[in-house]
Chains A and B, each alone.
Chain A
Amino acid sequence: MADEIAPEYDVVVLGTGLTECILSGVLSVKGKKVLHIDRNGHYGGEAASVNLEALFKKYGNYAKGTEPWKNYGRLNDWNIDLVPKFLMSSGELTNILVSTDVTRYLEFKQVAGSYVQQGSGPKATVAKVPSDAAEALRSPLMGLFEKRRMKSFIEWVGSFDPKDTATHKGLDMGSCTMREVYDKFGLEATTKDFAGHAMALYLTDAYLDVKGGAPEAIERLRLYGNSVARYGKSPYIYPLYGLGELPQGFARLSAIYGGTYMLNASIDDIKYEDGKAVGIKATMRGIDPEMKFETKAKTIIGDPSYFPSKVRVVGHVLRAICILKHPLASTNDSDSCQIIIPQSQVGRKNDIYIACVSSAHSVCPKGYWVAIVSTIAETSANHHLELAPGIERLGRIEEQFMGPPIPLYEPLEDGTKDNIFISKSYDATSHFETTTDDVRDIYRRLAGEELVVEGLREGIQVAAE
């Protein structure tokens, strides 16, 4: 078996999270010889989708000797995401999926609705985020005059062109802040809240006062609008059987282009020459006898867990995975939705997100919903209190899985010095735009050029009927 491992690879990739799998897929299509390893026995790493038994075992929240997962139907019907995210219909991940033809392995469904909360406690209301000017006019989120202001703001965002100063309303886009743009339209604080947090999807209010930050915020509003316009209902789509299908799809792409895949293999050592990584020593477990091997690598890519001494913690995410037997209240009995609770509504600095999917997306048996509440930790204790405003929205909860705060890692260096290119952790945002930013960033660092995915699938053959 060991003789099936080449003495040298162009790229050795450690960890099968989405970032790593997209990079493997793209690099393989471009002709690189890739060896892709994971210490786990499953694909997806931190971003896998797991069944209920695996989830109970991960969190350990059950009495020894009991098997609570047996109360919830067929185990294979559960695909619970460890990291809750949706794809923006017009976002970059969708673009990469289409450009690489990985869409052939996956099926997507819309997320039924995108909602935002106003107020807190018993008086809180949840309403659909208006997706176009017409919806803005019907939205209960605003009073009559505010609706008109919002309508003209939304129309202006649609016609905005960063290069055409005639569309800039007399503002200097090089220096003006998004707060100044909102003020130009006379928007109220609550409207700024849902525009910035539920449409531009900023996690905090820091974006409001960034000098020259307006074009980026407007671009995010446009991404939201374009994504809604693509399929209607909400800006989000979601893969059947859970997000764990995404890394598997890109891993398959890589394998089809000659990438070698090895799960259940631990890295024993990284070999260096003159400070640069040049190879690995590893052991494939789960077979008898275990297989030890060494191979050279021109480049090494990995997730933070493989390089604990080369990363730092930049924050902590709090997450509670909840199993429900009902849809979320005030969401029109949606089979899936996102609810954003903007920070200012509940006296926080960071938004609280609720992502909810159900059997409509083949992630659980019929009659169940999976809701994941998450936010960025702001305290060092009482984390359940930080999530409480989100948990309160869920109603009766059958099972709840909440562990300690999850650290978010970033690499200390860009990899050009030691040949090791490390991805970032999956952050608290509700979509994959930061993940694909990281993919592009890593690609640029290791290849010295921009990643162009358009046209990649021209090289991908599908034999005709």
Chain B
Amino acid sequence: MADSNLPKPSSSVKLVLLGEAAVGKSSLVLRFVNNDFQENKEPTIGAAFLTQKCNLPTRTIKFEIWDTAGQERFASLAPMYYRNAQAALVVYDLTKPTSLIKAKHWVAELQRQASPGIVIALVGNKLDLTSDGAGDAADGSGEDGGEDSGDARKISTEEAKGYAEEEGLLFFETSAKTGYNVTEVFTAIANAIPETSLKTARGPGASHAAGRTEEQRVNLNGPRDAEAKDSCAC
């Protein structure tokens, strides 16, 4: 609030979502973008991509969040999806062991296909279904997730955290339903993006990138003034 009038440098960051079906990828994003949650949400349809700003003390990160749109279902994700992604959210379901296996597969795929500097966050979702996540979201639990007494947790915090450390991933356990830890994931990603790999926001009026020479990049969505004047310019 204090210095909200000062313009901070703004950069856009492409973030891709990966993970088994129904682990809550879109729900996490919906919680982050709209602070909303829908029970029994239909599989994703009709969103080109979602954008959300993340305000850091020194700069603003504008996430362009890409959903797989189901193209991973039959192993048909296009290279375009990974292209220039600066961050990835690999999501699994804490209550479903196969979803962590799938998440590991996606991490390997990202390491093979994506840009070398990509920031990857491994996120165990549906914490609300475990005893750690029930109700109170603020007690910073999850550190001692080994005790599976009477809850639906099937993947211990240690197991996933150990794997994340080995692979150099950010690691969080979240609940899209309660909102627990969701903003934290995106803030941590924003903080982890190296300053050098940031470019300014894409889109109308903002097509000039810092660092690279982009002078010939064209914005097709701009006004088509050439056609507006009827006499052709040849």
Contacts and interface: CB of A to CB of B under 8 A. Distances in A.
Interface of A: 1, 4, 42-43, 89-90, 94, 97-98, 101, 103-105, 107-110, 112, 131-133, 154, 157-159, 199, 221-222, 224-231, 233, 237, 241, 245, 248-249, 251-252, 255-258, 260-265, 284, 286-287, 360, 459-465
Contacts, number: 141
Contacts of B74: 1, 4, 260-263, 265, 284
A249 B83 CA distance: 12
Interface in B140-191: none
B34 to A, nearest CB: 7
A243 to B, nearest CB: 12
B216 A460 contact: no
Given A256-B45, A260-B74, A159 B231 contact: yes
A257 B233 contact: no
Interface string B18-62: 000000000000000110000000001111111111000000001
A230 B220 CA distance: 10
The 3 tightest CB contacts between A and B, nearest first, are: A225-B234, A229-B233, A255-B69
Given A109-B218, A255-B69, A104 B48 contact: yes
Contact of B224 (A4, A158, A225, A230): A230
A256 B47 contact: yes
Dominant secondary structure at the B interface: loop
Given A110-B218, A226-B226, A252-B69, A258 B45 contact: yes
Contacts of B97: none
A103 B227 contact: no
B232 A222 contact: yes
Contact of A257 (B46, B83, B224, B227): B46
Given A90-B226, A222-B232, A107 B217 contact: yes
A164 to B, nearest CB: 11
A465 B53 contact: yes
Nearest to A130: B234
A261 B76 contact: yes
A132 B231 CA distance: 12
A262 B218 CA distance: 32
Nearest to B113: A76
Contacts of B49: 104, 462
Given A132-B234, A157-B232, A287-B75, A257 B220 contact: no
B47 A248 contact: no
Given A109-B218, A251-B71, A157 B50 contact: no
B234 A90 contact: no
Nearest to A107: B217
Interface in B209-225: 216-218, 220-221, 224
A252 B78 contact: yes
A463 B50 CA distance: 5
B78 A94 contact: no
B69 A248 contact: no
B79 interface: yes
A244 to B, nearest CB: 8
B80 A157 contact: no
Contacts of A264: 75-76
A25 B51 CA distance: 22
29 contacts: A90-B227, A98-B221, A103-B221, A109-B217, A132-B234, A157-B234, A158-B234, A159-B231, A224-B234, A225-B232, A229-B233, A229-B234, A230-B227, A231-B218, A241-B83, A248-B79, A248-B80, A252-B71, A257-B45, A257-B46, A260-B70, A261-B71, A261-B73, A264-B76, A287-B75, A460-B48, A462-B50, A463-B34, A465-B62
A108 B217 contact: yes
Interface of B: 33-34, 44-53, 62, 67, 69-71, 73-76, 78-81, 83, 202, 216-218, 220-221, 224, 226-227, 231-234
Contacts of A461: 46-48
A110 B219 CA distance: 10
A239 B116 CA distance: 22
Contact of A226 (B33, B78, B202, B232): B232
Interface centre among B62, B73, B81 (most CB of A within 10 A): B73
B78 A4 contact: no
A125 to B, nearest CB: 22
B46 A245 contact: no
Contacts of A256: 44-48, 67, 69
Contact of B51 (A42, A101, A103, A465): A465
A42 B80 CA distance: 11
A131 B234 contact: yes
B231 A112 contact: no
Contact of A460 (B46, B67, B69, B83): B46
A133 B234 contact: yes
Contact of B73 (A154, A241, A260, A464): A260
A41 to B, nearest CB: 9
Given A94-B220, A104-B48, A263-B75, A245 B80 contact: yes
B55 to A, nearest CB: 12
A432 B81 CA distance: 24
Nearest to B214: A109
Contacts of B220: 94, 97-98, 103, 108, 237
A110 B80 CA distance: 20
B76 A463 contact: no
Contacts of A262: 74, 76
A463 B33 contact: yes
A360 B73 contact: no
Contacts of A459: 46
A237 B226 CA distance: 15
A409 to B, nearest CB: 25
A132 B233 contact: yes
A221 B232 CA distance: 10
Contacts of B76: 261-264
Contacts of A255: 69-71
Given A104-B48, A226-B232, A461-B48, 5 more contacts: A107-B217, A157-B234, A225-B232, A251-B71, A463-B50
Interface centre among B50, B70, B234 (most CB of A within 10 A): B234
